[in-house]
Amino acid sequence: MSTAPPFPAADPLGEALHVLRMDGVFYCRSELGEPWGMTLPPTPGCLWFHVVTSGGCRLTVDGAGGGGTADGADRELRPGELVVVPRGTGHVLRSAPGVSAPDIRSIPHPMLDGRYALLRHGGDGPVTRMVCGAVRFSHPAAGDLVASLPDLVRVEPSPIGDRVQDTLRLLAAEVEHGGPGSDAVITRLADVLVLQAVRGRLQADAATRTGWLGALADDRIGRALAAVHREPERGWTVAALAATAAMSRSAFSARFTELVGESAMGYVTRWRMHAAAEFLSGGSGTVAQAAHRFGYRSEAAFARAFSRVVGEPAGRVRRHGLAGKADALAAFRS
């Protein structure tokens, strides 16, 4: 059990990103000679990112351009630009409009390790170099964050944008002049870039900070939320949460529901089941162990609560929890 003190996060967005935990699924360093094109299929649950380190291309997102696409569905990418396709929507990259764009799975791309590929594709013209990849947030509650983002995220000039540019310069240097261990450095820099892009979008657009994401910024309710996130297995009560927030029970309950959109204990149960789903999906713990860990006296009571909140049986989540990530990676090994 965590012993971290339940104080409010100085950086509520950082708190959220830490809790949700991002995992890399697939990374690809590409060298593309004009003319070239490739289609990336829909990959539900993944956030795609693309960084051009030299040259340029066009990016078109399938079915986008409607209400949620603040940054546009068709965009020209130049060196030093970072874009993220948050919901794994299918999209196309090509050197110029009208160029043939075969499915990336049909283009040879040797895997340098379990999740890192090298792709060389196209004609004899000028070369574009890119780093692309797919990542996912492992916590089930990440759906709230991803749903708040537009179809296409591009980092705008800003203080956070300046920091992104610093990371982009490091990434470009590794792609162009990398040495031993360069692949490992590229994957880690890519992860940092995605987190910077998501953080920048959430900071720039208050409308994206709804529900528990927005409530984390509240001095008192954020304190209670952070405590639940750090210790979901603790036997929380409204009184204990109100004490953590330094509020009366009635004032706390009303404020919590107003900001988060559900009751405090309803949220505790939902978050606890999210944590249990993450525990089970690792495959190392049994349903009985999960029930004990999260404070249920019987496996049956835990299983009922889990199915009600998560929408599928705990045993199935345990058996198939790793399948989503494995399937996403397998798509690029074929």
Q: What is the pLDDT of residue 267?
A: 94
Classified as helix, coil or strand, 221 is helix
Q: How far apart are CA 86 and CA 50, in angstroms?
A: 11
Determine which of 83-97, 165-179, 234-248 has the lowest per-residue pLDDT on average: 165-179
Torsion sign, CA atoms 227, 304, 17, 185: positive
Average model confidence (pLDDT) across the chain: 81
pTM: 0.73
Q: Which helix (H) or strand (E) holds 260?
A: helix 249-260
Q: How far apart are CA 151 and CA 283, in angstroms?
A: 32
Q: How confident is the model at residue 5 (pLDDT cuts 50, 70, 90)?
A: very low
Q: How far apart are CA 219 and CA 10, in angstroms?
A: 9
Find the angle CA(166)-CA(176)-CA(182) to the nearest 5 degrees: 80
Q: How far apart are CA 287 and CA 312, in angstroms?
A: 13
Nearest to 128 by CA among 259, 36, 203, 211: 36
Q: How far apart are CA 29 and CA 292, in angstroms?
A: 45
DSSP letter, residue 41: P
Q: Which helix (H) or strand (E) holds 324?
A: helix 323-330
Q: How confident is the model at residue 65 (pLDDT cuts 50, 70, 90)?
A: very low
Across the beta sheet with 91-94, the strand order is 37-40, 91-94, 57-61, 74-77
In 3-state terms the chain splits into helix, strand, coil percentages (rounded to 5) of: 45, 20, 35
Per-residue pLDDT reduced to its tens digit, 161-207? 577 778 888 887 887 776 777 778 888 888 888 888 887 777 776 66
